[in-house]
Amino acid sequence: MNTGKTGSNQQLISQIFLEEQEDLRPRKLRENPSHLGRYTLDGRPVLTSQYTAEDLGTSSDGLSPVPPAGPVDALVFDIYGTLMISASGDISLGEDTSSRESRLMKLLDEYDIDMEPSRLIGQMKDRIIRVHREMQAQGVDYPEVEIRSIWASLEAMEHLGEEDISLFAAEYEALVNPVAPMPGLEKVLNCARAAGIPMGIVSNAQFYTPAMFRAFTGKSLLQLGFHPDLMIFSYQEGFGKPSTVLYKRLAERLERLQHPGHGMRSIPPARCLYVGNDMLKDVWAAAQCGFQTALFAGDARSYRPRQEDVRCSSLQADYVVSKLEDICLLFRS
């Protein structure tokens, strides 16, 4: 086998996502999501049925000040559908791949995998289901797999070494679920970093997810300002959202946070804002653990109001955000 790839593993994975990037742009919602949040951050006066312009006052630049749910001392994000535009609206595990059959055949040929794409993917999905059931039997409410171990367990992949398994998994993901940075990504991160706000991530993710940021920004997550102790990825924890286990672990880390310039610092969930696009996996789960919440409603692909779920039918986020950079309104002095 010769895939023609050279360079370090992380560099190659970043290149893979950059090469497979499509012209993805946010899609407008057909509905106004403001009823799902107490306040709307949209660069215009922040008004809801409960507030008038007189209640809120007016700032010097003509924008109404954002009525805070509470002070924000930390900012934590979801990735897929929030910081990154995702063609599928989420991470791709289990997605339909029929529209990319010919390109998948070429990918399998590059790795000397002698099997039809549909059959291989079917085996992969079956394996994930089996592993999920095994984990649920052990008490894991929402299991998450490590996708490299899933691919490596398939007979058709047994000739591949660890590095090739990693590259194949990244190429498969980039092919079936192209991603691109959400508009305003670097602006909101720069804004929070300038304000001295520690940032984190709680996301359904795989080993290749951090490489997407280097691919599109040229910077690692640490260089973008994310705190090393506040990055919680589902594949490392064995739990997927909406399991509250992930948010409880975030709360534990915030309680004993070491922050440059501040030393040991304890931040309670009530002073941390969690931003995500899914009312169940993000808003409901984070709220159960006491976090402030913001529903990101900036892309119709990934917008998940989940109003049919009893846990979300009467739920409101603290904020509804239509553009990532509008979160900067919370940090204006």
**217-253 pLDDT tens trace:** 999 999 999 999 999 999 999 999 999 999 999 999 9
Distance CA 184, CA 190 (A): 10
Token readout for 333 is 């002095």
Residue 246 in tokens: 């992930």
Flag whether pLDDT at 296 surpasses 70: yes
Per residue in 105-140, pLDDT (tens digit) is 999 999 999 999 999 999 999 999 999 999 999 999
268-282 average pLDDT score? 97
Q: Indicate the domain borders of the chain.
A: 33-88+179-331, 92-176
Burial environment of residue 1 by CB neighbours within 10 A (0 to 12, 13 to 18, 19 or more): exposed
Q: For residue 215, give Cα distances in angstroms to 46, 87, 164.
A: 35, 17, 19
In sequence order, which residues have a C-beta less than 8 Å from that of residue 156 and are 6 or more positions away?
113, 114, 115, 120, 123
Confidence of residue 58 (pLDDT cuts 50, 70, 90): very low
* Alpha-carbon dihedral angle through residues 35, 246, 209, 42, given to the nearest 10 degrees: 20
Describe the crossing of helices 162-176 and 9-19 by its angle, rounded to 10 degrees. Answer: 20
Structure-model confidence comparison of residues 74 and 262, the more confident one: 74
pLDDT-derived band of residue 259, with 50, 70 and 90 as boundaries? Answer: low
Q: What is the pLDDT of residues 35-57, one digit of tens each?
A: 888 877 654 433 232 333 343 33
Q: Is the pLDDT of residue 64 over 50?
A: no
* DSSP category for residue 30: S
- Average pLDDT across the chain, whole number: 86
Whether the predicted pLDDT of 197 surpasses 50: yes
Q: Quickly name the fold that domain 33-88+179-331 has.
A: Rossmann fold (3.40.50)
Q: Is the pLDDT of residue 160 over 90?
A: yes
| Under 8 Å between Cβ of 234 and 241 | yes
Comparison of pLDDT for 141 and 34, the residue scoring more: 141
d(CA 12, CA 8): 6
Task: Give Rg (Cα) of the chain.
Answer: 21
CA separation for the pair 293, 274 (Å, rounded): 5
Cis peptide before 242 (omega within 30 of 0): yes
Q: The pTM is what? A: 0.88
